[in-house]
Amino acid sequence: MLNSNDRHSGKMEPNLRNQSFEYLSNRCSSKINNFLVLCIYEQNNQFHDFNNKFKTHKLKDSKGFLTFKDGLNNKSFVIWEHAYKENEELFAKLRLTARNETLSHIAQHVVFYLLSEYDRISTGNHAILKDKHLMEDSIYQMEKKLKKDTFLAEKTVWEDFYSWFRLLVKEWVLEEIALTIGFNEMERLDDQALNKLFYSHLTKHFTENTEFLSKVTDIVNEYIKKWIDKIMIEFNIENNTIEKIENLLCFKRDLQTSDVLLSTMRDFAFNFTIQDHLLVMNSAPYQSVRDAIYKKKFEIIENNPWPATPILKGNTEGYIQIIPFGNDHTTLEQSNVKEAWNRFHSLSDVDVDVFDALCSLFLSKAAHNEETVEICLNDLLSIRGLKPKLGGFGRRGGYEPKQREQILKSLTNIQSIWININKATIYENGKPVQTKLQGRTFIFKDRAGVEYDISEETCRKKITFTIDKVFAKYLNGSARQVALLSIKALQYNPYKQLWEKRLTRYLSWRWRTQARKGDFLQPNKTSTLMESIGEKLNDRT
């Protein structure tokens, strides 16, 4: 614990001052109401560059790798316990996010150490050291192992950490108050006044005092370093072998190709503000496309033979059509119209899952609306909670051909969707503007910027795409319309849990549209909920 002489100077002799403070601290500490320091981690829309982090780790060696840097890498806020209890569900999620961020740092540290050992004792091609995705998965698997198989799975361990941290900052702040206003004046303060003064000092430290944040960070790092040392002991990191390290890193070797294969899905949740939620668009056209896909209420409108369904949401009017890629929406050919109706009949809730996955991955990777991003086809399977099969005994692991075919079919259906907005209100420079918009949802382009048709050949492993101008208009500046969607919406079974899947999406969209008024507790009619998932209410029952 830091000595007060590091932070203050005063006329009182150090020994006498310490004795006086110890006596006063015991009297005043019990008067301070229980409080929490809430860490809010800023959203990171870019994938982590673990390869460069690993290189830095190797240069500094394990002792030089810190869990936190620069004031805990976050914004911290002080709240009283009664305020926490009034909004417990929200704050509990934020606390869990902060805890998981800490576990992720610890997992990185352990994985980097194991990889360093792997590099030292192995020979040949080190695929795990070169592939950033494999490194991501190893870190994710280590994080799961820490949560499940180590002492960090025990709730009391974290409660002890919180208690230690609160006591530490409480002593520091009380000592500062005593040295600022004097011991006698501090002792004369009633409980309310003391708590008010304490809260003021502590809040100011976390928002303005870089020296305080630096010292808090240092001592938290030391605390967590002891956790890491204990984890190393639990894992028995001695006399390492390649097989032992591979087992700890949770990856297998294909006996035929010696490639490294992953045992479970990659974690996409770390890119978002609250754990287990995806960031997706929330505009009226976006939600209308979702509705149109799973409700499948397409028909012929105004003698136009393409399958169409109207958009009527708020002040947005228009229609959605299914027009296969490569066809001008004004040019009609009988074979293409027939293909459009075939695609209408093949629409499914899996298409909506892929639609949301594309949106989420675009928002997480694109720096601006016109950027073309690249993803792996397997990403669209992983984000839906599907797990690849393990290899072994001469067999190659991975996803099944029928799973990949289903994704390609969904991508083809999504590529066929055409949006025509006759009336919409968008915001430019903070002012509402009436406009008309036309375009597709996502545009699939190769690296040369040329659009291509979805097929097994063009999407064998990678997909490159961007958003069309309709969606782009709703992602500009402060008018950006996005929402958090529980990842469970994509992972519910599309046949056995259909209502859960659709309700999750509808409620996410509805709550986001109510956010401006803060009217989250407005009740929903049963008929409205039924209609939102494409079911009719049976008035007779």
Enumerate the H helices of 366-486 as residue ranges: 377-382, 401-415, 469-472
Tokens found for residue 388 = 């690849």
Q: Do the bridges between strand 316-322 and strand 373-376 make them parallel or antiparallel, or are there none, so unpaired?
A: unpaired
CA distances from 62 to 59, 66, 221, 394 (A): 9, 9, 13, 37
Q: Do the bridges between strand 35-40 and strand 442-444 make them parallel or antiparallel, or are there none, so unpaired?
A: unpaired
Spell out the domain ranges in the chain.
4-271, 277-497
CB-CB contact of 530 with 536 (8 Å)? yes
The single-letter code of the amino acid at 169 is V
Q: Can you tell me whether residue 320 is helix, strand or coil?
A: strand
Q: How many CB atoms lie within 10 A of CB 6?
A: 8
* Beta bridge partner(s), residue 320: 309, 419
C-alpha 49/C-alpha 53 separation (Å) is 7
- Here the contacts of 57-62 (C-beta below 8 Å, separation 24 or greater) are 57/109, 57/112, 57/116, 58/112, 58/116, 62/109, 62/112, 62/113, 62/116
pTM here is 0.54
Q: What string of pLDDT tens digits covers the 541 residues of the chain?
A: 333 333 333 333 444 445 555 656 667 777 888 888 877 765 443 345 555 566 555 555 544 445 555 444 457 778 888 888 877 777 777 788 888 888 888 888 888 888 777 777 665 545 555 555 667 777 888 888 888 888 998 889 998 998 898 888 888 888 888 888 887 888 888 889 988 998 888 888 888 888 888 888 888 888 888 998 888 888 876 666 667 777 777 654 433 333 333 333 334 433 434 567 888 999 999 999 999 999 998 999 888 899 999 998 888 999 999 999 876 655 567 778 999 999 999 999 999 999 999 999 998 888 888 889 999 888 899 899 888 876 544 445 578 889 999 999 999 999 999 999 999 988 777 688 899 999 999 999 887 888 989 887 778 788 999 999 999 988 876 567 888 899 999 999 999 999 999 999 999 998 888 876 666 778 888 889 999 999 888 878 7
